[in-house]
């Protein structure tokens, strides 16, 4: 049986990639599946010679032999993977993403044994190592975190040994590298089939919002990569937490899917500090981890972030000032806790076409529906400055509600930013959430501050 996946057209850009294919592997992507269950399901798919099995085998072969990266889903966001031991393959990531080469990459492994194999000296077969010796290659400070959070959305910083098999492009010439074991059974299966550790940043164009669907990847990287494995929408929606246990006290370098209070509950991490700033590092400062130096998560439109607690009146005043100085505008509004639909402005009309779950064929493929707890509507609202006697004029607004639940906000945030870009809004106004509500809330606000050109505070 020959695998003949759907081929999607793309524009050539000098990468040598003739077309970008989206290959469905959704039947293999079962959240929370154990290694044993995942292996059993995989063996069944191989026996049936299913399209999903053929897609995964093709992707694994490409990772072993080619220098063009492969996009694949994890529990956090979609990753852009390449063999972390080959320089040409890792350079393919930087080329496809158009990412600065001084921004280090995270290595993904399918097991602790695979990580230990990276740390062992050459000419020292694993069979000659005792379990205790192998374990000692990982700094002991990380043991409580590994036991509790791996596999999962946690990246740890490890000393890069002198004999390291990792390509120098992975670490950007740092003395450490970040590594994690994804909880996605599909991601671990792909890494195991490729039999290589995978360097894998988010599968988006550099600085753009992270991708949480295969279609997001296609929008950014069409024509730059060959294969996108479609495992459906990602569950967490923000990237992994990055921690540094080599410093004293230990530090969190990037907030993400594992919270600071969870980490503080682990032995040796009671005094963990926040080692990141929401803005980007300036000048020639070398980033200790991905996401620290450059502006990230930014759509084409200008993003204005309103700190939690800002009343709707402040947003409306800002919109009216912008409208007064320009022709009729089209804006985007992302609501969370308190802002009302359409900012409670009078509605002239609602678009007859529902934007919830719509299919956008402009990309050459069906777009995935919005997350079930996300509400999107296109409104024409009426506005006029209070000091003017002129009649109100209409203004287009794409109104997105992410819901009040922090997890639903995290899952829908990047999709919301991308949806508003696709509708060509000029400015996106975002209602922030209190960081005191928990670590995921802090991660959401961290991403929003990196995306925003302006932040309105109390």
Q: pLDDT by residue (tens digit) across 154-195?
A: 999 999 999 999 999 999 889 999 999 999 999 999 999 999
**pLDDT average, residue stretch 293-309:** 82
Does a structural domain hold residue 315?
yes
Residue 214 has pLDDT above 60, yes or no: yes
pLDDT digits (tens, 9 = 90+) for 54-78: 999 999 999 999 999 999 999 999 9
User: Does residue 384 lie in a domain region?
Assistant: yes
The CA-atom distances, in angstroms, between 410 and each of 28, 274, 400 are 24, 20, 14
Residues 104, 192 within the same domain: yes
Whether 110 and 200 map to the same domain: the answer is yes
218 and 321 housed in the same domain: no
Q: Is residue 276 part of a domain?
A: no
Domain identity same for 174 and 319: no
Q: Are residues 66 and 214 in the same domain?
A: yes
**CA max distance for the chain:** 86
Residues 367 and 452 in one domain: yes
Residues 44 and 178 in one domain: yes
147 and 32 within one domain:
yes
pLDDT at 291: 54
More confident residue, 326 or 73: 73
Q: pLDDT tens, 302-320?
A: 999 999 988 899 999 888 8
306 & 417 share domain: yes
What tens digit of pLDDT does each residue of 360-393 get?
A: 333 333 344 455 557 788 888 876 554 455 556 6
Collect all residues with Cβ–Cβ distance below 8 Å to 332 and sequence separation of at least 6: 301, 397, 398, 400, 420, 423, 425, 427, 428, 429
Q: For residue 191, give the CATH number of its domain.
A: 3.90.870.10
Please check whether residue 145 lies inside any domain of the structure.
Answer: yes
Tell me the pTM: 0.84
> Do 203 and 316 sit in the same domain of this protein?
no
Q: Looking at the structure, do residues 324 and 219 belong to the same domain, yes or no? A: no
Q: Judge whether 304 and 401 are in contact, CB under 8 Å.
A: no
Q: Which residue do the tokens 């050109």 mark?
A: 453
For residue 343, the Cα-to-chain-centroid distance in whole angstroms is 29
- How many domains is the chain partitioned into structurally? 2
Q: What is the pLDDT of residues 2-14, one digit of tens each?
A: 343 333 344 334 4
For residue 287, name the pLDDT band (cuts at 50, 70, 90). low
Q: Which two tokens stand for residue 389?
A: 């006697």
User: What confidence score (pLDDT) does residue 352 get?
Assistant: 53
Q: How much is the pLDDT for 322?
A: 79
Task: Count the alpha carbons within 13 Å of 412 in the hemisphere toward its beta carbon.
Answer: 25
Domain C-terminal end among 230, 246, 265: 230
User: Can you tell me the distance from the alpha carbon of 406 to that of 436, in angstroms, rounded to the nearest whole number?
Assistant: 12
Residue 1 has pLDDT above 70, yes or no: no
Please check whether residue 252 lies inside any domain of the structure: no
Spatial contact of 164 and 176, defined as CB atoms under 8 Å apart: no
CB count, 10 Å around CB of 363?
Answer: 13
For 90, 92, 95, 273, the CA distances from 16, given in Å and listed in that order, are 16, 12, 12, 45
Confirm whether 294 is domain-assigned: no
Domain final residue, candidates 230, 256, 284: 230
Q: What is the mean pLDDT of the chain?
A: 84
CA distance 406 to 311: 20
Render pLDDT for 70-103 as a digit per residue (tens, 0 to 9).
999 999 999 999 999 999 999 999 999 988 777 8
Q: Which of 230, 262, 282 is at the close of a domain?
A: 230
pLDDT tens for each residue of 388-407: 555 566 788 999 999 999 99
Residue 25 belongs to domain spanning = 21-230
**Residue 95 counted as domain residue:** yes
In a domain, 398, yes or no: yes
């Amino acid at each position: 049986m020959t695998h003949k996946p759907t081929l999607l057209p793309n524009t050539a850009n000098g990468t040598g990639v003739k077309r970008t294919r989206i290959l469905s592997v959704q039947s293999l992507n079962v959240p929370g599946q154990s290694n044993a269950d995942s292996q059993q399901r995989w063996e069944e798919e191989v026996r049936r010679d299913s399209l999903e099995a053929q897609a995964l085998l093709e992707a694994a072969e490409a990772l072993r032999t080619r220098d063009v990266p492969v996009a694949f889903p994890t529990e956090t966001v979609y990753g852009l993977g390449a063999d972390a031991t080959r320089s040409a393959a890792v350079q393919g990531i930087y080329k496809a993403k158009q990412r600065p080469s001084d921004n280090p990459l995270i290595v993904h492994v399918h097991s602790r044994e695979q990580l230990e194999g990276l740390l062992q000296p050459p000419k020292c077969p694993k069979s000659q190592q005792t379990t205790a010796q192998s374990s000692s290659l990982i700094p002991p400070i990380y043991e409580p975190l590994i036991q509790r959070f791996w596999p999962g959305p946690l990246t740890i910083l490890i000393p890069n040994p002198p004999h390291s098999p990792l390509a120098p492009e992975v670490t950007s010439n740092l003395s450490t590298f970040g590594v994690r074991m994804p909880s996605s059974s599909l991601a671990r299966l792909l890494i195991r089939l490729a039999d290589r550790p995978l360097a894998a940043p988010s599968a988006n164009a550099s600085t753009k919002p992270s991708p949480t669907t295969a279609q997001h990847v296609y929008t950014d990287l069409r024509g730059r990569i060959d294969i996108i494995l479609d495992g459906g929408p990602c569950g967490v929606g923000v990237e992994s937490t990055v921690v540094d246990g080599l410093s004293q006290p230990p530090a969190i370098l990037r907030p993400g899917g594992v919270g600071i209070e969870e980490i503080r509950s682990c032995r040796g991490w009671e005094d963990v500090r926040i080692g990141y700033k929401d803005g980007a590092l300036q000048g020639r400062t070398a980033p200790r981890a991905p996401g620290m130096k450059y502006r990230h998560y930014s759509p084409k439109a200008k993003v204005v972030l309103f700190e939690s607690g800002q009343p709707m009146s402040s947003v409306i005043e800002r919109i009216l000032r912008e409208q007064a100085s320009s022709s009729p505008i089209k804006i985007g509004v992302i609501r969370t806790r308190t802002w009302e639909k359409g900012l409670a402005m009078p509605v002239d009309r609602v678009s007859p076409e529902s934007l919830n779950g719509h299919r956008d064929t402009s990309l050459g493929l069906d777009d995935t529906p919005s997350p079930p707890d996300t509400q999107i509507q296109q409104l024409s609202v009426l506005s006029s400055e209070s000091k003017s006697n002129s009649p109100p004029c209409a203004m287009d607004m794409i109104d997105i509600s992410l819901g009040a639940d922090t997890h639903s906000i995290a899952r829908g945030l990047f999709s919301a930013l991308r949806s508003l870009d696709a509708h060509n809004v000029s400015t996106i106004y975002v209602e922030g959430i209190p960081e005191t509500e928990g670590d995921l809330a802090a991660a959401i606000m961290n991403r929003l501050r990196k995306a925003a050109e302006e932040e309105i505070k109390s």
